[in-house]
């Protein structure tokens, strides 16, 4: 499964998403309140809970809704149940992304390699202009 992130976000996976995925992997249904208590406890154990509890609650709810929209979590009434196969694949993607960082296309390296060539061309142009 490919990674899907919001179009406006340039950051990699965050701790809230990772903790949500870890909790929902057991495929038990959770109401949001109980789910948040477990996620918050896990984040505090990792010393990753920052920004205040209410802000963290909003971020966790938003991440949970993103997982529902992506089809990795099923919502039935007020309870949420993870889809183990989809969450395992997503969890592996998150771990790989955290380990290796976000991969970029080859363009940045090509631009860096091409820049000296352009500088030489510009230098030869100015030299030729001074001679003439």
Q: Give the pLDDT band of residue 63 (cuts 50, 70, 90).
A: very high
| Strands of the 79-82 sheet, one edge to the other | 30-31, 79-82, 73-76
- Predicted local distance difference test score (pLDDT) of residue 60: 93
The total of other beta-carbon atoms located within 10 Å of residue 89's CB is 14
Q: Are 9 and 3 in contact (CB under 8 A)?
A: no
Tell me which fold the domain 1-101 belongs to. Answer: Arc Repressor Mutant, subunit A (1.10.10)
Q: CA-to-CA distance for 94 and 2, rounded, in angstroms?
A: 10
pLDDT digit string, tens, across residues 34-49? 999 999 999 989 888 7
Buried b (16+ CB within 10 A) or exposed e, 3-24: eeeeeeeeeebebbbbbbbbbb
Span 91-108, mean pLDDT?
Answer: 68
């Amino acid at each position: 499964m490919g990674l899907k992130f919001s179009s406006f976000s340039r950051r990699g996976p965050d701790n809230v998403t990772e903790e949500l995925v870890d909790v929902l992997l057991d495929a038990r249904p959770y109401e949001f309140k109980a789910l948040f208590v477990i996620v918050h406890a896990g984040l505090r154990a990792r010393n990753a809970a920052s920004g205040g509890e209410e802000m963290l609650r909003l971020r966790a709810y938003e991440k949970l809704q993103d997982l529902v929209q992506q089809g990795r979590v099923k919502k039935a009434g007020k309870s949420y149940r993870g889809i183990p196969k989809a969450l395992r694949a997503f969890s592996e993607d998150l771990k790989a992304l955290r380990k290796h960082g976000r991969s970029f296309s080859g363009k940045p390296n090509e631009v860096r390699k091409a820049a000296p060539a352009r500088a030489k061309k510009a230098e030869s142009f100015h030299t030729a202009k001074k001679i003439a």
